[in-house]
Chain A
Amino acid sequence: MATRNLILLLAGVVFALFAPQLLGAFWASLIMQILIFGVLALSVDLLLGHTGMFSLCHAAFFAVAAYTTAILQVRYGQPTILAAPAGILVGCLLSLIYGLAVRTSGVYFILVTIAMGYILWGVAVRWGSFTGGDNGIGNVPFPAIGPLKVTSLTAYYYILWILVGLGVLGYRLLIQSPFGLTLRGIRDSESRMRALGYNVGRHKYAAFVLSGCIASFAGVLYIYFNRFISPATAAFPISVEAALMVIIGGVGTILGPFIGSAVFLIMRNYVSAYMDQWMTITGLVFIATVLWAPNGFLGLLKKYRTRPQDPKHRAEAGKTG
Chain B
Amino acid sequence: MNWAIQTLNGISMGALLFLLSSGFTLTFGLARVVNMAHGALYLLGGYLGLSMVLATKNFWLALLAGGFGIVILYYFLDRFLIRRTGENHLSQVLLTVGIAFVIADIALLIWGGDARRLPAPAFTQGPIQLAAGLYYPRYRFLLILFGVIVGVFLWIIYKKTQIGALVRAGVDDREMVSAMGININRLFALVFALAAFLAGLSGVAGGAFLTLYPGAEWEILVLALVVVIVGGLGSLGGAMVGSLVVGLIDAYGRWLLPEFSYFVIFGPMAVLLLFRPTGLFGRKN
Contact for B94 among A100, A128, A277, A289, CB less than 8 A: A289
**Also in contact, A119 and B263, with CB within 8 A (given A110-B93, A279-B104, A280-B101):** yes
Query: Which A residues are in CB contact (< 8 Å) with B84?
Result: 291
Interface size class of A (residues with CB under 8 A): 35 or more
* Residue B251, interface by CB 8 Å: no
**Also in contact, A291 and B105, with CB within 8 A (given A114-B225, A123-B262, A123-B263):** no
* Residue A247, interface by CB 8 Å: yes
Contact for B89 among A54, A122, A123, A126, CB less than 8 A: A54
* Residue B157, interface by CB 8 Å: no
Residue of A nearest to B222 (CB): A118
Query: Which A residues are in CB contact (< 8 Å) with B270?
Result: 100
* Residue B124, interface by CB 8 Å: no
**Also in contact, A115 and B98, with CB within 8 A (given A100-B274, A236-B218):** no
Among B95, B222, B228, B274, chain A packs the most CB atoms within 10 A around the CB of B222
What 0/1 readout, one digit per residue, does chain B (123-141) give for beta carbons within 8 Å of chain A? 0000000000000000000
110-155 of chain B: CB within 8 A of chain A:
none
Asked if B262 contacts A122 (CB within 8 A), the reply is yes
**Also in contact, A247 and B259, with CB within 8 A (given A284-B102, A290-B85, A291-B81):** no
For the complex formed, measure the closest distance between the CB of B250 and the CB atoms of chain A, giving whole angstroms.
11
Asked if B269 contacts A56 (CB within 8 A), the reply is no
Query: Which B residues are in CB contact (< 8 Å) with A206?
Result: none
Asked if B101 contacts A279 (CB within 8 A), the reply is yes
Asked if A284 contacts B260 (CB within 8 A), the reply is no
Residue of B nearest to A291 (CB): B84
Asked if A283 contacts B100 (CB within 8 A), the reply is yes
Q: Which of A101-109, A162-170, A180-188 contacts B (4 or more CB under 8 A)?
A: A101-109
239-273 of chain B: CB within 8 A of chain A:
258-263, 265-266, 269-270, 273
* Residue B90, interface by CB 8 Å: yes
* Residue B34, interface by CB 8 Å: yes
* Residue B208, interface by CB 8 Å: no
Residue of A nearest to B101 (CB): A283
Q: 20 additional contacts, CB 8 Å, given A115-B269, A283-B98?
A: A54-B93, A104-B277, A108-B233, A110-B90, A112-B273, A115-B229, A115-B266, A119-B265, A126-B258, A236-B218, A237-B101, A240-B93, A277-B105, A282-B101, A283-B97, A283-B99, A283-B101, A285-B98, A287-B95, A291-B95
A-B contact pairs, 15 of them (CB 8 A): A56-B93, A103-B274, A107-B28, A108-B278, A108-B282, A118-B218, A126-B259, A235-B218, A237-B101, A277-B105, A280-B106, A282-B98, A286-B95, A286-B97, A291-B81
